[in-house]
Amino acid sequence: MMKQPNKKLVLESGEEFVGYGFGADCPSVCDIVFNTSVVGYQEIISDPSYTDQIVVMTYPVIGNYGVADEDFETRIPSIGGLVVREHCETPSNFRSTKSIAELIEELSIPGIYGIDTRMLTRILRRKGCCRAAIVDASMSNEEALKLIADTPRKSDAVRKVSCRKRWYSRTPNHRFDVVVVDCGVKHNIIRQLNRCGCNVVIVPFDTPYEDIMAFNPSGVLISSGPGSPMDVPQVVDLICELRGKLPVFGIGLGYLLTVLAYGGVCCEEPCGNRRSNHPVKNLSNNHIEMAALSHRYSVDVASLKSLPLEATHIDMLDGKVVGVESSAERVFAVQHHPEGAPGPNDSTYLFDKFIKLMEA
C-alpha cells in the first residue's frame, strides 16, 4: 500500500507543500531559509548560525553518507526544522554511526521530505525570508496560518547558543593563548586554532573586557553565530575596547560586529546567502577564493567610506564587501568562513594571518 502524506509545510504567504514526516513528530514555527550546498548537511544541521530556522536543502538527496560523531559543529544542534526532497535511510560510509533521520529525531527536530524543494526555493528566493510551519497534513491551511501568526518570533539567538561558562581546548606544545568570544562558535574554528598551535579558552558572548584580559591572551577571536548583529551590543562594546590592544579576528557574525564597532552600518538582506563554493575575491592579490557563506545581514558599503577600515575581500556575485581590516590596530574580519567544514579550504590562510599578528 502506498504511504499516505502525513506532514505539510505552510508558508506565511499561504503556499503549502504536502509531504512525509521524518525525525521528531512535533510542529515547528520558524523563519525558513535555504542552503545550496551539495555536501556538509551534518555541519549545516549542527551550525549554530541556523538556530531557530527551518533549513531547506536544495540538493535532492540528503543523508547518503550518514552522520559521523566527529563532524558536529556544536554539541547541541538548534535548527528549527529540516526540509529535503529525499533522505537516505541506509547511508554508506564506514564512519557513519546513524542516519540523518535518527539524528534529528534524537534532537527533537522535525523534518519533512517528498516535497518540491526546487519550487519552494524559487518562492523563497523571489519573496525573501519568511516564516513557515511544519504541521500535520490534517491541519487546515487557515489553522496553520493562524498558528504562524500567533507564534512569537524568536529572538536573542546568540544568548541561546553561547556557552554559559568558559571552557578550554588545548593542544600540545602550544605557542599562543587565544580567547574565543562565543556568539555561536563552530567547533572547526577551535580545531583550526589548535592546529595553528593555540590553546583556546571559549567564553560567553557577554564576558566583560576585564575578564578577557585576565587570561592574558595573545589574541581574541569573535566567532560566527545566529541572529542580528544589532542584538548583541555587548560584543560591539567589547571590540571597541580591544581595538589596538591585541590582535582581533572576526568571522561571520563577528565580521558584522567588527564593522559596527568601527561605526559602520549593517542591513538585512531579503533571503540571505547560504552556500559553499561561493567566489570571493582577495583584493590584496586578486586571487579568487571559493568560500562558504551563511548570513542574512550584510554591510552597507557606503558606510565604510569614512571609516578607518580597508576592504580586503569582495563577493564576486554581488560586489558586497565581505572582508575588512585595520592594519594599524591589528583587527581584521571576514564574513565568509575560513574554517568551512567539510570545505572549501581556500581561506584557511586567514588563521595563519592571525598567528602572524600574534607573533608580531
| Domain's final residue, options 109, 137, 153 | 153
Question: Could you say which DSSP state residue 142 is in?
Answer: H
Specify the DSSP element, H or E, that contains 259: helix 253-261
What value does the mean pLDDT take over residues 320-329? 96
Residue 1 clears pLDDT 80, i.e. is over it: no
**Mean model confidence pLDDT for the chain:** 94
| Domain's final residue, options 84, 119, 153 | 153
Asked whether the CA dihedral 329, 334, 339, 343 is positive or negative, the reply is negative
Residue 41 clears pLDDT 80, i.e. is over it: yes
Whole-angstrom Cα distance, residue 102 to residue 98?
A: 6
Tell me which residue range forms the domain holding 227.
158-359
Query: Would residue 226 count as lying in a domain?
Result: yes
Q: DSSP string covering 69-123, please?
A: GGG-SSSS--BSEEEESEE-SS---TT--B-HHHHHHHTT-EEEESS-HHHHHHH
pLDDT classification of 90: cutoffs 50, 70, 90: very high
The predicted structure's pLDDT at residue 278: 87
In tens, the pLDDT along 185-220 reads 999 999 999 999 999 999 999 999 999 999 999 999
Query: Would residue 43 count as lying in a domain?
Result: yes
Specify the 3-state DSSP secondary structure of 146.
helix
The grid coordinates of residue 257 equal: 560586529
Same domain, 349 and 271: yes
Same domain, 227 and 99: no
CATH of the domain at 229: 3.40.50.880
Specify the DSSP element, H or E, that contains 21: strand 16-23
Same domain, 58 and 172: no
The predicted structure's pLDDT at residue 269: 86
CB 256 within 8 A of CB 267: no
The predicted structure's pLDDT at residue 2: 67
pLDDT classification of 273: cutoffs 50, 70, 90: confident
Helix, strand, coil content of the chain in percent (nearest 5): 25, 35, 40
Same domain, 130 and 249: no
